[in-house]
Structure 1
């Protein structure tokens, strides 16, 4: 039975991996395998690569050693694509938009884009532990992201932190995957380092999902209630110009701190500030 395709398709975006991939399934990514691909890689003597169909007469005539040369092409292969989700309570923040609704839009587009590339798509979600109900085994079904996105839109997170993501790589299999690690990254520095180290064998794209209202609260002075959803605490403060500037400065400092941590591991974060934009994701990979 064919998987039903929804009437309104998610927006597709284009991604790429940094290094050639390994694998047996044809796909859209450069691989380490040579053979019947379209991308020229090198010439080799016929005795080392005995395939007369790929004989290059022009190159053979120019060879100073008089060898028969064949063309070696690079094949394109598929890569496993994984969505690793932070499901802690802070992901339930609602500002200009509900954060998990933005994540749902991203998840649906990622699954659709993976299927269009011939890649498999899998998902794993965690708060203090990896949640079995948020484990999606690798699939190439076109509509795999639709039920996942629907579940995210109706989910109310209550976890105190995202420490379970340290164990998420155990559910990814042995092949090197392209992992989109989605969170607000309001974590301790120690937890951030542990999670990134746990994913060290994979190509990781940190996806930082923030909302403008996390760090702003109007222009005037007045009382404001600040809430920490993961600790379950609330605090009332007098919102004034000096505090507003400190709050905005804290956002800039946190963004720069994340940049340094990611840069130390040669990772380039994808920032989603507000609504999800598929074209902005494509541009991120083209830079």
Structure 2
């Protein structure tokens, strides 16, 4: 993977809380271009920003000073599920979708001026994919290459909530990427663990998970998490039940995310950077 990753636009749901200069609307500070309100002279004694009209409107006849916020940078995290089920998919596994998204996210964060960090988990936090936040252009290509070459070794994603200890309590824009094939109660635990951050759930799915190909007859299946193999008598009635189960699972995930005031981003079959931009623009 040597091409420049696709770039997408993202925005924060509230003013950035970072300290370093950046591209997002900030909170606090002075000397910026974005007007955020007025303060009386005793709180902000800056003659350059005196506002005569606001002073005349003040019922207490206090000198009013305009306050402006400088643009700030905001830390961006990717918390990724790299468990066994992420190896499923044809012709490209879900890990390839994750790699494309991760590379694009790291590149977009660098272009925006935000520090980017990554932590990946299966049954444990993966030390080989643990990167503290930094502003480095080379991370995009390297992360994409590592994920493309990754061979999952853990069956489950039980350690995902432990990533909260890595991301810390300082607020960040956090992309939680997984297929979310876990019990809903476990998913609620994940969301609770990352409650300090602005979370964007990224749901990576493959159509064949819910619509296996082939005609009626015996269909060999492999559980991507446990590796268990079994034969299934594939028939039209079962196909309809699987399609209904897929719809119900999607709606159940949406409901859990809605309870946490989150809106999921579904990425299925292929990664489209423009679709990610539309997610933020239309949200």
Could you state the TM-score of these two structures normalised by the residue count of structure 1?
A: 0.93
Match of 1:117 among 112, 117, 120: 112
Contact 1:81 1:119 in 2 (8 A): yes
Matched, 1:21 2:11: no
Offset, 1:75: 2.6
**Which deviates the most, 276-285 or 137-146?**
137-146
Q: What is the correspondence of 1:89-104 to structure 2 with a 5 Å cutoff? A: 89-104=84-99
How well do the aligned residues superpose, as a CA RMSD in angstroms? 1.7
Which whole-Å CA distance do the structure 2 matches of 1:162 and 1:68 have between them? 58
Q: Deviations over 1:16-54 (max 9, x none)?
A: 221223121111222221412211111222222101111
Which whole-Å CA distance do the structure 2 matches of 1:165 and 1:125 have between them? 8
Match of 2:171 among 176, 184, 190: 176
Match of 2:71 among 71, 76, 79: 76
Unmatched 5+ stretches in structure 1: 1-5
Match of 1:57 among 42, 52, 59: 52
**Which deviates the most, 113-122 or 186-195?**
186-195
Match of 2:183 among 185, 188, 194: 188
Aligned to 1:246: 241
Off by >6 Å, runs of 4+ in structure 1: none
2:26 is paired with a residue whose SS is: strand
Matched, 1:271 2:266: yes
Which whole-Å CA distance do the structure 2 matches of 1:183 and 1:128 have between them? 14
Q: Deviations over 1:234-281 (max 9, x none)?
A: 111121110101111111111111111111111111000111001100
Contact 1:24 1:77 in 2 (8 A): yes
Offset, 1:132: 0.9
Which whole-Å CA distance do the structure 2 matches of 1:28 and 1:223 have between them? 56
Which whole-Å CA distance do the structure 1 matches of 2:8 and 2:188 have between them? 29
Aligned to 2:43: 48
Q: What is the correspondence of 1:80-229 to structure 2 with a 5 Å cutoff? A: 80-218=75-213, 220-229=215-224
